[in-house]
Chains A and B, each alone.
Chain A
Amino acid sequence: MNHHGARAAVPVALALLALGLLLVAVGAAVGSAGWEPLWSADGTPASAVLWEIRLPRTLGAWLAGALLGLAGAVAQGIFRNPLADPYLLGSATGAGLGVALLLALMGVSPLAAAGWPGRLGLAGAGFAGAVLAVLLTLALAKGVQHTLRLLLAGVIVGMVLGAIASLVMFWVPAVLRAMQSFLLGTTGLLGWPSVSLLAVVLVAGLVASLAFSRSLDALSLGEDTAASLGVALAPVRAALIGVMALATGAAVAQVGLIAFVGLVAPHLVRAATRATARWLLPLSALTGGALLLAADVLARGLLAPQELPVGVLTAVLGGGYLLWLMHRRPA
């Protein structure tokens, strides 16, 4: 009797896993010249491209999407608002500012930065910027007690850091081109180190957020009710904001500003199943992964050998879905 939600959730989880695997196979097969055979003879250049470029990029896109989906579900849970998204506390603009500053100081473009040090340096700057922005938001909001104050502080931090990043780009126009690929979102810079990093953060984030899944359910009944049920609001909120900041920061640092995935993934899950947080969190991660990877495959394949910025594609698809949702459900 207790498992109405769970009974519906298991097939959805299996379907999403299968979809993810299918997309990984497709993603590995889509190259600069469109469809290419997956299995060529060993030792040919084709397999090097597959192993060194396409596979990490494909897995990394799925992982980054999963992190955004998870962060979105956590954000919508703690802020008790279906329109909350992972970038709410300023992490996106913080990452943007971090990358812009590093580019301006080092005078390198990410594509020119040869090898892993350059790429990881940029990712590190983005991650540090994202985490610092969230810490700044928390400081301005004087802690996690008031969700409305947190939201406002997040908006303020986002605007101010965004303005500073724009100023950096204005002063150092050489940065502009490189920044654009970050702002539009790109999976082109993902390598194996990124993949392992994203995987570690995803597992840690899932474990940590699942530990608080009951508290998230209780929170949906209101903060007073949750507190009356023995939920310690401040520590729970702090831990979940930590999960959200780390997951978002890791994803944004690796793939740039991917729009809408974190916002839409939990909505898609809720449309398919009425699950408690225990299921909503992992299902949102699976959905986010499938969404970003599907968008990435499309972005690579649609105009091959030209490549669309994947963030543009997720924005168009996500916006379209929300519009459809809005018209289907009259207010």
Chain B
Amino acid sequence: MSTVAIAAERLHVTRGGVEVLRGLSVALPAGRWTAVVGPNGAGKTTLLKTLASLLPYQGEVRLMERDARAWSARERARQLAWLGQNEGAAHDLLAHDVVMLGRLPHQSWLGAASAADRAAVEAAMRETQCWDWRGRALGSLSGGERQRVLLARALAVRAPLLLMDEPLANLDPPHQADWLRIVRAHVQRGGTAVTVLHEITMALHADDMLVMEGGVIVHQGACSQPATHRALERVFQGRISVHAIAGQWVALPNEYVTVAPAPDGARGNAVAGEILR
């Protein structure tokens, strides 16, 4: 019986007048990597943000078996590192200064960076291979290079819990493979990773998968289980299917599937018709 790193009970979250999460309960085991997947609008990012206490919510979030509201912001920041998508610009900050911000929860108010801070920053930057441009401004880096600096920023927190929303944005295939290795290393050190991923094939590298649709969780299970694959295929309306290739699970698109008229069937049919024409 593994311990629970983060859990939610009867979670209701409303954004812009729309109820995005509708009474969701989930428990994510510590020491494992969980990938959150689902179609657009399923509530993946909202769930991740709520788990990170970044959104107001009804219900309960438990971080390390303790009510998230009972943690001080600083304590929580040491336990949980967040990497969001399309966030700040910070064009004028140097890469090194950006990564150093990850040490904020460890530093005293106005205190200077300690040797431990500098060591954590260097280790994180070397891990994501961005140490070489530590003296360059974030705005002068390419999208992929910037993403590696931001990933290093999240790693520099050295939090046991790492929450990442679309962390693969702008990364080229070799650096996507590096990212997999980084997350795996984090989990092997005893850490927990929760990621929202659109690339299902990358998500299938995780330990567990959380399949979401319409603001609820429709399946939670190991990525290697057939039941997980069937749940995936179901929420994507049969337009992808999971195959085993070269010892890995791979999600491939089914180009010629006609979608049965569902609530948004008109759009599905139009897409299918477009493909068939």
Contacts and interface: CB of A to CB of B under 8 A. Distances in A.
B194 interface: no
A57 B144 CA distance: 52
Nearest to A210: B110
Contacts, number: 96
Interface size of A as a range: 20 to 34
Contacts of A218: 101, 104
Nearest to B150: A221
25 contacts: A1-B96, A1-B118, A2-B112, A2-B117, A4-B135, A5-B94, A5-B97, A214-B104, A217-B97, A220-B93, A221-B88, A221-B153, A222-B88, A224-B82, A225-B83, A225-B87, A225-B153, A227-B53, A227-B54, A228-B80, A229-B102, A230-B78, A230-B105, A270-B92, A274-B92
Given A5-B94, A214-B110, A228 B52 contact: yes
Interface stretch (B12-20, B69-77, B212-220): B69-77
Interface size of B as a range: 35 or more
Interface string A108-124: 00000000000000000
A219 B90 CA distance: 9
Interface string A214-254: 10011111101101111110000000000000000000000
B152 to A, nearest CB: 12
A231 B102 CA distance: 12
Interface of B: 49, 52-54, 72-74, 76-78, 80-84, 87-90, 92-94, 96-98, 100-102, 104-105, 107, 109-110, 112-113, 117-118, 121-122, 134-135, 137, 150, 153, 157
A2 B113 contact: yes
B96 A220 contact: no
A309 to B, nearest CB: 33
Nearest to A230: B77
- From DSSP, what is the main secondary structure of chain B's interface residues? mixed
Nearest to B163: A228
A211 interface: yes
Given A80-B88, A274-B94, A276-B97, 5 more contacts: A1-B96, A2-B121, A80-B89, A217-B93, A230-B76
Contacts of A4: 94, 96-97, 134-135
B98 A221 contact: yes
A224 B87 CA distance: 8
B96 A211 contact: no
Contact of A230 (B73, B89, B150): B73
A5 B52 CA distance: 31
A196 B113 CA distance: 36
B163 to A, nearest CB: 8
B54 A220 contact: no
Given A2-B118, A80-B89, A217-B101, A229 B94 contact: no
